[in-house]
Homo-oligomer: A and B are copies of this chain.
């Protein structure tokens, strides 16, 4: 039915909980689900990196977090300190929101400096960290999406990511295809925002996504098992 194996799909999923009202019990549950389903990573707010790292010690699940999230409009000093603390707390993956206004204003020097500082502090502490740049495509023109991808690639990011999930729209197949066409096979593409079922996840992967950010990972894996059972 699909070329992907179940385990390959699971490894592509960032099991995500970024709601501000999440409590520590929710984070524990998220981590347990990630282990059980063999997800590649969890994605939690920076304040929850320490408990997620404790929960996932000794497992293959990586702890991811978000920087400048979800607006991307904080100052560089805030993003750098947030990332520095998260990496020292044990985070291994970092989804960094681009400064959207600066991108629209074509402030490329500002953006390069900010990415340089943020990615620099992460890599210094953890050379194998995965850094993803969130573009929030629903707010951008195609030209801005392309410029954002190029800046992310030039500044040493590992992936570009469509959306925060808090914006006016989530991942679309067209955006995933566009991002993939710009970054080629040099960078990964993470589709996130509004991916709530297996069908949508597979459409994103077919369009070029190498990573899926979703809070519906458990449901998606259940749908996989049910689809398999029907074959």
Q: A residues engaging B (CB < 8 A)?
A: 18, 20-24, 26, 45-49, 69-82, 84-86, 89, 97, 99-102, 104-105, 136, 139, 166-167
Contacts and interface: CB of A to CB of B under 8 A. Distances in A.
B71 A70 contact: yes
Nearest to A20: B71
A227 to B, nearest CB: 33
A101 B46 contact: no
Contacts of A71: 18, 20, 45, 69-70
Given A78-B82, A78-B85, A80-B81, A104 B21 contact: yes
B23 A46 contact: no
A103 to B, nearest CB: 9
Given A20-B71, A47-B75, A76-B85, 17 more contacts: A18-B73, A20-B70, A20-B100, A20-B136, A21-B101, A21-B104, A22-B73, A46-B75, A46-B78, A47-B74, A47-B76, A75-B82, A75-B85, A77-B82, A77-B84, A77-B85, A78-B82
A74 B78 CA distance: 10
Given A20-B139, A71-B20, A47 B102 contact: yes
Residue picked from A46, A71, A73, A75, most chain B C-beta under 10 Å: A75
A48 B101 contact: yes
Nearest to A88: B77
Contacts of A86: 75
The 3 closest A-B pairs by CB, nearest first: A78-B82, A81-B81, A45-B73
Nearest to A24: B105
A183 B102 CA distance: 39
Contacts of A79: 78
A105 B23 contact: yes
Contacts of A78: 46, 78-79, 81-82, 85
